[in-house]
Amino acid sequence: MKRVESVLKLNALVFDKIYFERNGMKNDEKLELSFSVSVGTNITNQNEKKVSLSVKGNKAEEYVFEVQATGYFTYEGDSDDAIIQQNAVAIVMPYVRSEISLLTAQPGVEPVVLPPFNIVEMMK
């Protein structure tokens, strides 16, 4: 059987921002989440992408947080940029999800466990 190499490769992943601020004690307010994605291309090598995913959370009168991670990717061949971006975000998302759970797993805070997301819908 021939081994198939992925055309998208994660070369490095870093957390650019990990922020938590407590504003009060545990309450029954709903956690509001917002997501943002930033994609850049290396000017000297069009096959190198930098994909940043940021998740901000705000639970009124309890806490706010922000976690941002950036993945540095290369890809080979002719591929649709939208597909590459979606796949790159799908690769970075579990790292962000895990960091949010770790960040909120502290005394007096109900840990935030983000569900799986439909990345295609999120990117629209």
Strand, coil or helix: what is 39?
strand
Per-residue burial over 34-54, b = 16 or more CB atoms within 10 Å of its CB, e = otherwise: eeebebeeeeeeeeebebbbb
pLDDT value, residue 118: 76
The tokens describing 78, both together, are 């002719």
CB 18 within 8 A of CB 67: yes
- Name the superfamily (CATH) of residues 8-123: SecB-like (3.10.420.10)
Task: List residues bridging with 46 in a β-sheet.
Answer: none
Query: Which one has a higher pLDDT value, 105 or 82?
Result: 105
Residue whose structure tokens are 């921002």: 17
CA dihedral 15, 94, 6, 84 (to 10 degrees): -80
- Which range among 47-51, 53-57, 64-68, 110-114 shows the weakest confidence by mean pLDDT? 47-51
Confidence (pTM): 0.86
**What's the whole-number average pLDDT of the chain?**
88
